Amino acid sequence: MLAGNARLLMTMPLDDLTDLSDEVLLARYAQGDRSAARVLVLRLSPRVLGYAARLLGDRAEAEDVAQEALVRLWKIAPDWRAGEAQVTTWLYRVVTNLVTDRHRARQRRAATALDEAPEVADATPGAVAQMIEADRMAALDTALAQLPDRQRQAVVLRHIEGMTNPEIAAIMEIGVEAVESLTARGKRALTAILSGQRAALGYEDEGAEA
Amino acid sequence: MVWRCEMTPQELDDLLSAARSRPAEASSDFMARMLEDAYALQPDPVVQAAPAVAPPGLLARFSRWVFGFGGAATGLATATAAGVWIGFVQPAPVTTIRVALQGAETVEQVDLIPSLDGWLSEG
């Protein structure tokens, strides 16, 4: 059943709906347009999943969060007020909040949590050094996982999801200056974490000085 | 010799860009679940209700009963019938107005092409 639906989803024509904005498609979805539902699922699901996976570092959990966020979108669709917010901004905010809730639950369960460390820049890069396969993407994911929640969210939204600072401010419900601060601190922390792995990550020693 | 081991801002930016260019791959099962949710929670299609048609008026129903059709043709036929009826019966209001304008002549005696005699007698 699922595989059949997936094949159908990938092969069925999408008419000319792919040029329409998320907001227009959501309005059509609310009117019962099944083509709009397909386009929205194809367009939004991978993005939401990718963002959740970056924040959580766990694929299964990320799928749960992405599914929950999309379910909330479908439920609010009939009451969606055009022009009030972008669909993606709203979705990313929901994912961010869901992930934050899960992190808090993790912290309650764990005796100690990395997020409670005072400042990641102080952390030794030993955690990354334990990686058996020092793939750059894996190293980045591992480093991102060590950032405090808000820094990780800001860095991922800005540098991986490609959002603008005002968009991130809307998603995180903070000011633009706070976004800039979180992003800068997050990048400094990433640099500190990854620096010890520079050679393992395959960067050349062009910086060597005689 | 001093070895720089700190990652440069450019290297970090490149790493982040590389991550950005590798979007998450959603499995077909996951996509199918998302589509099933979307369909299950989607409102039923909006059906355009036919505009309400007002019931025909008394005159229209009468005309339809008499002439067997309606619309503009009904109005034309009704006006024609009314004109014929007024011409024959000459109801009191019409007669009163005519008498006031033309005197006591009957409609049948109206001289639509007056004789030139009156004009000629003036010289």
Q: Can you tell me the mean pLDDT for A10-38?
A: 84
- Asked if residue A34 has pLDDT above 50, the reply is yes
> Which residues on chain B are in Cβ contact (under 8 Å) with A3?
28-29, 32
pLDDT digits (tens, 9 = 90+) for A144-203: 999 999 999 999 999 999 999 999 999 999 999 999 999 999 999 999 998 877 776 767
pLDDT digits (tens, 9 = 90+) for A97-147: 999 999 888 777 765 545 544 444 444 555 544 443 446 888 888 899 999
> Which residues on chain B are in Cβ contact (under 8 Å) with A2?
28-29, 32-33, 36
- Asked if residue A90 has pLDDT above 60, the reply is yes
> Which residues on chain A are in Cβ contact (under 8 Å) with B33?
2, 67
Test the B interface: residue of A11, A12, A38, A45 with most B CBs within 10 Å: A45
| pLDDT score of A132 | 35
Residue with tokens 């799928």: A63
- Asked if residue A25 has pLDDT above 80, the reply is yes
| pLDDT score of B96 | 63
CA dist B90 and B99 (Å) reads: 12
A70, A187, A196 ranked by CB distance to B12: nearest: A187
Task: Evaluate whether A106 touches A172 at the Cβ level (below 8 Å).
Answer: no
Does B110 touch chain A if contact means CB atoms closer than 8 Å? no
Test the B interface: residue of A10, A195, A201 with most B CBs within 10 Å: A195
The CA distance from B14 to the nearest CA of chain A, in Å, is 10
| pLDDT score of A42 | 95
- Asked if residue A91 has pLDDT above 80, the reply is yes
User: In this prediction, does ipTM exceed 0.90?
Assistant: no
List the helix and strand counts (H, then E) for chain B: 6, 0
Q: Can you tell me the mean pLDDT for A91-102?
A: 95
Tell me the domains of chain A and their CATH numbers: 1-111 (1.10.1740.10), 114-201 (1.10.10.10)
| pLDDT score of A57 | 87
Element (H, E) at A3: helix A2-11
> Which residues on chain A are in Cβ contact (under 8 Å) with B45?
31-33
| pLDDT score of A71 | 97
Residue with tokens 């639509």: B112
Tell me if A41 and B31 make a contact (CB, 8 A cut-off). yes
In order along chain B (123 residues), what is the average pLDDT of each group of 10 residues?
70 89 87 96 78 61 58 60 65 62 56 61 54
| Closest alpha carbon to A90 in A159, A23, A149, A28 | A23
Task: Evaluate whether B31 touches A9 at the Cβ level (below 8 Å).
Answer: yes
- Asked if residue A7 has pLDDT above 80, the reply is no
Task: Report how far apart, in Å, the C-alpha atoms of B102 and of each of B87, B95, B112 are.
Answer: 16, 10, 13
Q: Can you tell me the mean pLDDT for A77-93?
A: 91
pLDDT bucket at A16, cuts 50 / 70 / 90: confident
